[in-house]
Amino acid sequence: MSNPLLEKENKHRLQAIPFHLIKTEHFMPAIKETLQKAKEKFELIRNNPEVPTFENTILEMDFAEEKLEYVAGIYFNLHAAESDAEFKALAQQISPMLSEFSSSIMTDEVIFNRVKAVYEQECVNKEEPKPDFQNKAQMQICERYRYTERIYKSFKRNGAMLSSEDKKKLTEIDKEMSILSPKYSDNVLDATNAYEMHLTDPKEVEGIPESALQAAAFRAKQKGKDGGWLFNLQMPNLVPVLTYCKNRKIRETIQKAYASRAFNDKFDNQENIKRILELRFERAKLLGYRTHAHYVLEERMALNPDAAIAFLEKIYDIAYPAAQKELDEIKAFAKETDGITDFMSWDFNYYSTKLKEKKFQFDPEQLRPWFKLENVFEGLFLLANKIYGITLKQVTDVPVYHKDVTTWEVHDEKGGFLGLLYLDMFPRETKRGGAWMNAFRGQGLYKDGMKRPHVVNVASLTPSTDEQPSLLRLDEVRTIFHEFGHGIHALLSDCNYKALAGPNVLWDFVELPSQLMENWLLEKEALNLFAKQYKTGELLPDELLDKVLAARNFNAGNANLNQLRYALLDFAWHMTDPKEMGSINDFENKTIQRLTLLPLIPESNISCSFSHIFAGGYSAGYYSYKWAEALEADAWSLIKEKGIFNHEVTFDFKNKILSKGNAVHPMDLFVAFRGRKPDPDALLKRDGLI
């Protein structure tokens, strides 16, 4: 059987992945063959009689895994974005195979000794080279030094210096962990997909915007229901109900369903969480660290958990009283409006929106007609050109993995090819919730030369119906901008080595480009490029924009407190000995008590669907959102001061941060752009909290 994943030469345009030819049954043979080839190549490296050099060791290791990374990358991207039960089940075989292989390399004494020899040649007793952003040769020297250093550290941090017995333990831990994360993720998706709320009484949906009702009616029709409205737990369905539904019981029902996903049901994740935490703790101890958080933070800008937690606590001290004051005002409004005396979490969005509307004469739903999805992307691409000089052109001759996916060629200001962008924007049952950016191919040096990236942006936005196009909420447009910010970090990368190419930066720096991109969304000059009434073409009225801007810091205290709840819960899980935790729910409730202003719901649990930390890359790293937000607020203040389309400052950000990936330490990149270290109060100032 021919296998498109194993073709010797990719002759498809732009070397695009031949999704139209790939079937589920192609993956296991492709993984097995490319894994075997990778093992053979590493065997050649370890048996090389020549003196170890950067070229014959570090680079050859990189080249050895190319084909395996290609196949595995396609599999895991599709596992998240387009997979049925049969496809997902393969992860239970593929993940441990890849984990065992990775561990075998990282714990191979001969290979480590070669890496160590190169590290001693390139880095030991040598000053770290200083970046010179105008000198390409000097930047290559910096990158080579950093890559060598990070490869060496990676081996040390993954067991290269352990005893033989401990190496075996580590391999078994990694192997088991590789099975648990996909299993956890699948449970969250299955629990999300399992829930449906079919309503037929108009009184039950009173207050829900017409656009959301049309979508729910369309969904009911698709699912073969006899009329009515069908709601599920995908964000485009959930948010309108919690925000606008007048029927309090309906809000309560769907809030509890969402908050209890994969908790005490047939998709329960509690045992998975316990085992993941046990393994992470055991792994950290084995490697000589106090906790998993100490292990993770060693390779972050924050350097250690104490510094990250101190940063969060400073925000807490200011955000908590602000959030309490905001909540008191909302509760008083709910009591005055509807006599609510037992205010609960399912009341917060509803009454806070009503209060916002009263105070600012503004309802976010008013914006939908100005945010037609196609117009948003057209404007976003115009913005990208005005900010960074790049252009995007849709192409239709590149295979895609689902009919909803579109593809775009990206070029720089001189017409040079930067990469291929896939856009996958709508929810479906074969795709996990949320939004993310990933790459099918990273930028950098391959065995056959330098290659540009193939990037994918994924989201779950309000889809079109048979009666109206996709009209987005403001927060959905913000999601598009955010993920596109990650995308251009990859597309503008100009590094030599894939492992250092954007966005493969330190984790608490990775959100800077994405969060910075969000700022253009509420600038009038930017909005005029795309915020056009979808029927009349009328630009967003100034008075409506003024209301948006006036309300932008409404509930800023609660917004900060919400993020702190996730970040500090993450640290609590990863800084505590699992033997001391007790039940998952009790530990969580105890941890978040001081971070929660409303009564905790017994039926709910955050951790059982907290995919960022249990199935994503954010374990002991969720604080990164706030950390990077502080960097972004400071960076934006300079761009705002110089002019949001001033190429002197935007191209400086492109050339000193976006294009450099991880070739230089992120603090050095930030200082090169900003002219100083970050202002620690920039975020609190921007949110109006100080």
Q: Which residues are catalytic?
A: 483
Helix (H, G, I), strand (E, B) or coil at 446: strand
Exposure string for 112-138, b = 16+ CB within 10 A, e = fewer: bebbbebbeebbeeeeebebebeeeee
Asked whether 308 and 627 are in contact (CB, 8 A), the reply is: yes
Distance between CA 312 and CA 472 in Å, rounded? 32
270, 392, 588 from 602: Cα distances, Å: 15, 49, 11
Q: State the DSSP H helix or E strand holding residue 364, giving kind and residue range, or none if neither.
A: none
DSSP state of 616: S
CB atoms within 10 A of CB 679: 15
Distance between CA 422 and CA 437 in Å, rounded? 10
Distance between CA 486 and CA 483 in Å, rounded? 5
Q: State the DSSP H helix or E strand holding residue 308, giving kind and residue range, or none if neither.
A: helix 305-338
Distance between CA 3 and CA 523 in Å, rounded? 49
Longest Cα pair distance anywhere in the chain, in angstroms?
82
CB atoms within 10 A of CB 150: 17
Q: State the DSSP H helix or E strand holding residue 392, giving kind and residue range, or none if neither.
A: strand 391-395
DSSP state of 471: B
Distance between CA 148 and CA 55 in Å, rounded? 11
Provide the token pair at 506: 């330190």
H helices of 389-506, in order, are 474-491
Distance between CA 655 and CA 674 in Å, rounded? 13
H helices of 158-209, in order, are 164-194
Distance between CA 19 and CA 42 in Å, rounded? 29
Cα-trace Rg, the chain: 25
What are phi and psi for residue 437, nearest 5 degrees?
-120, 145
Provide the token pair at 643: 């002019």
Provide the token pair at 285: 């101890």
Through-space distance between the first and last CA atoms of the chain, rounded to whole angstroms: 65
Asked whether 525 and 645 are in contact (CB, 8 A), the reply is: yes
Asked whether 360 and 547 are in contact (CB, 8 A), the reply is: yes
Distance between CA 419 and CA 412 in Å, rounded? 10
Long-range contacts, 358-361 (Cβ 8 Å, 24+) = 358/333, 359/551, 359/554, 360/547, 360/550, 360/551, 360/554, 361/547
Asked whether 631 and 670 are in contact (CB, 8 A), the reply is: yes
The sheet that has 454-458: what strands, in order across it? 391-395, 406-411, 417-424, 454-458, 436-441
Distance between CA 270 and CA 126 in Å, rounded? 49
CB atoms within 10 A of CB 594: 12
